[in-house]
Amino acid sequence: MDYDNVEWFAALHENTDNRHIHLSFFEDEPKTWDSKKREYRYHKGTLSKDSIDSFKERIEKRMNGHEYGLHQFRDRILEREDSRLIKPDLNAIYESDLKEMLLGLYRILPEGKWGYESHEMDDLRPRIDEITNYMLTSDDQAMEAYLTLIRRLKKRDEETEEICLSQGIDPEGKLISEAFQKDLYRRCGNRILAYLRNAKGRKAEFVKGSSKNQQERWNEKARKDWLFHRTARLNAEVEQEREGVYEAFQRLLAKAEHDRLVEEGVIEAE
């Protein structure tokens, strides 16, 4: 069916144990030629199993990665504050939640300068990603910038997969959306770890004659003060890493588009 000739609608059903969506679509005007009747007719209301499987696969791809999680984070903030009579201060909520998440990771972070991808971080990596997710939702503009770029990268990967499939080529190594997400979360994760290690290294100024127990309590207070009062610095550092990854992959997309136009003869190679 012609994409531009189709109308569709969907309904989310929550009246059973399993939430599900009904999807319906139809043609605006008949465009399938009936050779026997010598006239155009509507497309028959059947779909092949291959078409259904392909549709499911595309849904999985769209939901893949961190996009769904990002929306969950944002929705959780708004839902929690929806019952308030006054307009919620999203910045204050974000700061409070971020400090709580950082403190939780700080308490279980092992000693040593382990990087985001090291085996020692395997158990903690989901918590690090959760903080990165949350920082990507710090405001609507930041989240939309991420989602816009990841959608462009996924669209290019879908086009690449179709070309590879038609040419009998393995697309492995040619897809970039997953590489983008891995690079983004690795670089942001390392910034978060460096921030927490810096906090762990803080020490207080001691009064002469203070006991070791007092010194340790003051040290811990100094560490938490540093952890809580410099989140703006962490936000700036993560934003810097984020923008660096965005620019690198935007350049990659621009080069791919330039190469495509050259190949199609629309523009001349420089």
Greatest distance between any 2 Cα atoms in the chain:
103
What is the pLDDT at residue 187?
92
**pTM score, whole prediction:** 0.63
Instruction: Measure the CA angle with vertex 228, ends 222 and 233; round to 5°.
Output: 110
Residue type (1 letter), 20: H
The DSSP output letter for 21 is: E
Domain ranges of the chain: 1-46, 66-263
What are the φ/ψ torsions at residue 41 (nearest 5 degrees)?
-135, 170
Higher-scoring residue by pLDDT: 112, 81: 112
What are the φ/ψ torsions at residue 22 (nearest 5 degrees)?
-95, 130
Higher-scoring residue by pLDDT: 184, 82: 184
What is the pLDDT at residue 177?
85
**pLDDT level of residue 190 (50, 70, 90 thresholds):** very high
The residues near 175 (Cβ < 8 Å, ≥ 6 apart) are 157, 160, 161
| Helix, strand, coil share (%) of the chain residues, nearest 5 | 65, 10, 30
Tokens 């465009």 -> residue: 31
The yes-or-no verdict on residue 51 having pLDDT over 70 is yes
Higher-scoring residue by pLDDT: 224, 77: 224
The yes-or-no verdict on residue 206 having pLDDT over 70 is no
